[in-house]
Amino acid sequence: MTVSELVEFLQRFPGSLRVVVNGYEEGYDDLAPEQITRTRIVLNTGKHDWQGVHGHPDDAKGQITVEAVVLQRASH
């Protein structure tokens, strides 16, 4: 999903709705501006079902990285 696609999708909802992210084990946490970051990722590196599909550039080992917007869950 791109930023443009996300904006278009979010425009379907009332602007007053709260934005949350899933909690570490259960429940939901509020999303704050400082949790929205821009970073580089490596596409399609996850090999296990417990990993995310895409990986961190430190694990790139010569692979091409791309920029992405991350909605980071707050760690408590």
Long-range pairs for 69-72: beta carbons < 8 A, 24 or more residues apart: 69/3, 69/36, 69/37, 69/38, 70/36, 70/37, 70/38, 70/39, 71/21, 71/31, 71/35, 71/36, 72/21, 72/35, 72/36, 72/37
The pLDDT of residue 16 is 93
pLDDT per 10-residue tile (average), the chain, 76 residues: 93 92 83 90 88 83 88 74
Burial of 10 (0-12, 13-18, 19+ CB in 10 A): exposed
> Do 65 and 40 form a contact (C-beta atoms < 8 A)?
yes
The pLDDT of residue 75 is 61
